[in-house]
Structure 1
Amino acid sequence: MVEGLRERKKRQTRQRIVDVAIGLFVERGFEHVTIAEVAAAAEVSVNTVYNYFPAKEDLVLPPEEASPHRLADIVRERPPGQSAAGAVLARLRAEVRGRERQVGLTEGFGRVLEMMRAAPTLAARLEDLGRRMTDELAVVLAEETGAAEGDPLPRVAAWHIGCLHSLVYAEIGRRTVAGEPPDAIAAAVLELMDAAEELLGERVLAYAVRKG
């Protein structure tokens, strides 16, 4: 589908607001920058900023990127013959190998991460995001496996997968803050994922295999 002129301008405006906001947040701290200051620096109105980003935190963690549906969506989209854990592992490996922004493997992300960790509201949102991802995944696993009400297996499997997902992000964050380059981080994280996959065991790795 060809992007129209209006859609392109909206996308460019949105990206300009994000870029300006992140720059200000990194320079001065998230809590010390107002939406009015972001709007002025981006040369748009305050209302325009709020039209794109209803909450200040959305400028750093936009819902379409930092989505509580992420793990559930990955599992829903997996092909026949692949398990839930296998789908998440495959997606994470692809994102790490591609040095994708989704996992923070871009130059300069270290300063952004430090800014996020220093802001209580952003740290709280990240913690809540991880919990909601696991909760939604557990619901999907229960539905797909036909688990009886009260069966703990979907939640236990979701917890293992959610912990793996969190571990990858934590390792990337730790190495990023330490100043390691993206290529070195990617290599180390891929090795970490191999070790984690071995420890998960066949019970988790073979759980909820999609039927053909």
Structure 2
Amino acid sequence: MSAETMGLRESKKQETRQLISDHATRLFLAQGFEQTTIAEIAAAARVAKKTVTNYFPRKEDLALDHHEEFAASLAGVVADRAGGESALAALRRYFLAAVEDRSPVAGFAGYEFAHMIAESPTLTARLRELHDQREEALAEVLAGSGGRNGGQGGGGIAPRAAAALLAAAQRLLFERIQELTLAGRSTDRIAGIVAEEASHVFDLLTPSLGDYASAPGAQSA
């Protein structure tokens, strides 16, 4: 099979996945997550039910379409941090950039979407699960990282404790964005409020984690 043919097939798969996701989101917002069936989504997208479940094994993943990116986000930021940069500094930089970009991974999704999640016990539970997965992935990266006060490897508790604190801050700020969204605040107003509150949250963590897991290399200027 030629590279061109493989590329076309992959492109077609991505188009089908996006089509299914778009129709699912439209139906979820119109009818509610719990009330919408896989059969209805398949019919709207004009594909078989099996096609829907092949692309999205869990119904929740149709609504939380960024779930893989979300679960891996904190670990990825810490793994790619600059030389001399601590885990806390990297995650602070990441979150404030996400707020600036109004990223859905940070919690910006609009009132209708936030309301849909809040009204669905299934989606609320899935979101908690994703936050837990994000913390676990972060702990794994910290356990293997070098640098000052860095990873201890194995089953040491320090990386898990640090991950719990760092991930809790991110979870709190995510939930704060959702809370302000449901309160009817504008996206720009939410960004301004949360950027200020995030700085305070990260400042609170600095005395204990400011130098933790600093990446090898010269300190940034």
Give 1:97 deviation, angstroms.
0.3
Q: Does 1:190 align with 2:186?
A: no
Structure 2: segments with no counterpart, 5+ residues:
none
Equivalent residue number for residue 42 of structure 2: 39
Equivalent residue number for residue 139 of structure 2: 138
| Residue type at the aligned position of 2:86 | S
Q: Does 1:101 align with 2:114?
A: no
| Residue type at the aligned position of 2:68 | E
Q: Does 1:207 align with 2:208?
A: no
SS at match of 2:47: coil
Deviations 1:84-124 (A, max 9, x none): 11111111111110112322335xx2111211122222111
TM-score scaled by length of structure 2 = 0.86
Cα distance, 1:23–1:85 mapped onto 2, change above 3 Å: same
Q: Does 1:66 align with 2:62?
A: no
Equivalent residue number for residue 81 of structure 2: 78
SS at match of 1:31: coil
| Residue type at the aligned position of 1:136 | A
Separation in structure 2 between the aligned mates of residue 66 and residue 146 of structure 1, nearest angstrom = 23
From 21, 24, 27, the equivalent of 2:24 is 21
Deviations 1:146-203 (A, max 9, x none): 4265643222211110111001101110011111111111111110111112211232
How many correspondences in the alignment? 208
Equivalent residue number for residue 118 of structure 2: 117
Give 1:8 deviation, angstroms.
3.1
SS at match of 1:54: coil
| Residue type at the aligned position of 2:172 | L
From 159, 163, 168, the equivalent of 1:158 is 163
TM-score scaled by length of structure 1 = 0.89
Structure 1: segments with no counterpart, 5+ residues:
none
| Residue type at the aligned position of 2:164 | W
Q: CA RMSD in A?
A: 2.0
Deviations 1:1-48 (A, max 9, x none): x99444333322222211111111121111111111001112222122
Separation in structure 2 between the aligned mates of residue 49 and residue 32 of structure 1, nearest angstrom = 17
SS at match of 1:64: helix
Separation in structure 1 between the aligned mates of residue 208 and residue 159 of structure 2, nearest angstrom = 12
Separation in structure 2 between the aligned mates of residue 4 and residue 148 of structure 1, nearest angstrom = 40
- Identity over aligned pairs, percent: 41
Alignment check: 8 A CA contact 2:74 2:134 kept: yes
